Structure 1
Amino acid sequence: MKRLYLLFVCVVGVCFFQAAGFAQAEPAPVTGAEMALPVPPAASTPLRLNIGLEGSAGTGDVSVAIQLVVVMTLLTLAPSMIVLMTSFTRIVIVLGFVRTAIGVPSAPSNQIIVGLSLFLTMFLMGPVFERVNNEALQPYLAKQVTSSEALDKATTPLKEFMLKQTRTRDLEFFLELGRFPPTKVSDLPIRVVVPAFVISELQTAFQMGFLLFLPFLVIDFLVSSVLMALGMMMMPPSIVSLPFKLLLFVLVDGWHLVVKSLVESFHI
């Protein structure tokens, strides 16, 4: 009897839940007052968010997602671009040679050398950056050009600066490596101009460093000869020559001469 009673209760419960489900599925009758109420558009139309750069009368540009990827890539490569596509390379190498030639590897410190090189780079590259701002950035912000056109216009002043500092043999070397046909200077791709410019800058910086080493090397020779003549074999010549090199560098206003030579070497 208990089993029959439990079976009966289960059957009644299943029937009750099915009836409740059918009752919820059936739509309620709509009265006249309810038909007169306006249906809000938010209930019938789902929310949408459209992001695009296509205006009603302007030409289409790349999507925001692609632009964000390009911007993040440029921010990641910005240190390399500053080092390799500006005057920073030559300046920091020459200032490092000056510090080594004097014989004080910790004065001035690396932070001062890099900071001075960065500000000198900003000073030298000021006209180039102004051209980039006037010819590429401002027209792009005013929506007069697309992002690809702005990038091409921004590359042109940098390419002209690099070509002005690059040796012809370095350009020909990379053209031969890349198996390029004879190309006009104005039509050279940026992937040829940048490595040729870096090689030329390294060559120029090492030449300037060699010339800076010569006067200090003469002082080292003189001090070593005097110490040998006096029989002071155990006295390190670098300790004795360091004050004389510092005195010479201060008397000739060395930092002024070095910075002036660096700025004039770019012929801007």
Structure 2
Amino acid sequence: MRFIFRTFLCMFILIAPWCLADNGLYDTSCSSRCNSPKPTELPVVSQQPEVKKTYPQPTFRERVTADDVLPREHLSEGSFSDTYPDLTTQAVILIFLALSPFLMMLLTSYLKIIITLVLLRNALGVQQTPPSQVLNGIALILSIYVMFPTGVAMYNDARKEIQGNAIPRDLFSAEGAETVFVALNKSKEPLRSFLIRNTPKSQIQSFYKISQKTFPPEIREHMTASDFVIVIPAFIMGQIKNAFEIGVLIYLPFFVIDLVTANVLVAMQMMMLSPLSISLPLKLLLVVMVDGWTLLLQGLMISFK
């Protein structure tokens, strides 16, 4: 019975659209849609193209000429050579400015201090504590402290030379470059004295003997043991040697701690345990107990004359 009812219901659903279409109730044609009134169309506004405003361009005569920037008398032949240094002087000044950071590191106490601090960090076994930036900052501050008397003496000598002559308005002119070179020449003696005082005599004599064997005869005739070409490499070698001597003394107690710790662990059959995890706290305890950082930094500053 249910099956018959469902069959009639499906047939009614299929036949109903055609019955409604015959009575006009269900219009499948598009005539009604096609004959429907069209919506009111809006008037089209014509878009006129934008007119770009043009401004009158100045003529060549109205433009700024070279005379407005630089007077014509400065453009005469040979005027630049009288006002500005030649290319050789400019190159020397640029090279000196580029090498000044390296000269400050090599000709001061910075070299010895930074090497000693790095050796102390390696002896402790902590590769990144303190960081390298911190060690460089400590070495720089201590170098300023050590070199302060020498810097004051150099400044006083240079100031006397500058005050004795007329100061040029432009330091990059030929007169300004000459004044700077004369001031540097007068202020080099305090630096020379500092280098000689803190350089072993054996190093100076060694480099002087080497220069007598390798330099040309015309240079050896006017060379002395106090020249910068002899004193500077001797000072650098002496600073490196002293820094490594201090490093040996720093390494000895920490080496003993590492050796004892390793032997104790082997005797206790604890080979799987890293000796560094045991020796590092002992090293730090030793440094804290004896106030190692203060002793080391004070000793470094006192070692300079």
TM-score tier, shorter chain, comes to: 0.7 to 0.9
Q: Which has the larger radius of gyration?
A: 2
Structure 1 pair 164–263 and aligned structure 2 pair: CA distance change class (3 A): same
CA RMSD of aligned residues (A): 2.6
8 Å contact kept, 1:94–1:209: yes
Equivalences for 1:231-246 in 2 at 5 Å?
A: 231-246=269-284
Q: 1:91-141 deviations in whole A, cap 9, x for unaligned?
A: 000000110011101000000011110111011000111111110146336
The answer for the alignment partner of 2:153 in structure 1 is 131
Aligned residue runs from structure 1 range 26-175, under 5 A = 46-48=72-74, 50=79, 63=85, 68-137=90-159, 139-140=161-162, 143=165, 146-175=179-208
Residue 143 of structure 1 and its aligned partner are, at CA, apart by: 2.7
What corresponds to 1:258 in structure 2? 296
Contact conserved, 1:163 with 1:193, CA < 8 A, in 2? yes
Change (3 A) 1:160 1:245: same
| Structure-2 change in CA distance of 1:206 and 1:182 (3 Å) | farther
Aligned to 1:177: 210
- Identify if the C-alpha distance between structure 1 residues 138 and 115 changes in structure 2 by more than 3 Å, giving closer, same or farther: farther
Partners in 2 of 1:130 and 1:114 — Cα distance? 23
3-state SS of 2:187 partner: helix
- Name the one with the larger helix percent: 1
Shift of 1:184: 5.7
1:53–1:64 CA contact under 8 A, matched in 2: no
Shift of 1:142: 5.8
Report the counterpart of residue 40 of structure 2 in structure 1: none
In structure 2, relative to structure 1, the CA distance for the partners of 1:212 and 1:75 (3 Å cut) is: same
Compared with structure 1, are the counterparts of its residues 68 and 181 closer, same or farther at alpha carbon in structure 2 (3 Å cutoff)?
Answer: closer
Q: What SS does structure 1 have at the residue aligned with 2:74? A: coil
The alignment-based identity, stated in percent, is 33
User: Which amino acid in 1 is paired with 2:237?
Assistant: I
One of 227, 231, 247 as aligned partner of 1:193 = 231
Return closer, same or farther for 1:141/1:51 CA change in 2, 3 Å cut-off.
farther
Aligned equivalents of 1:123, 1:129: Cα separation in 2:
10
- Equivalent pair of 2:161/2:186 in contact (CA under 8 Å): no
**Corresponding letter in the other structure for 2:204:** L
**Cα distance in structure 2, aligned partners of 1:257 and 1:116:** 15
Listed one character per residue, the Cα deviations across residues 178-229 of structure 1 (whole Å, up to 9, x for unaligned) are: 11469765xx211111000000001000000100111111111111121111
For structure 2, the 5+ residue unaligned runs are 1-66, 167-177, 213-219
Q: What does 1:8-19 align with in structure 2 at a 5 Å threshold? A: none
Task: Classify 1:140/1:52 alpha carbon distance in 2 versus 1 (closer, same or farther; 3 Å).
Answer: farther
Relative to the length of structure 1, the TM-score reads 0.72
What corresponds to 1:221 in structure 2? 259
1:231 Cα deviation from its structure 2 partner: 1.1
Gaps spanning 5+ residues in structure 1: where? Answer: 1-41, 55-61
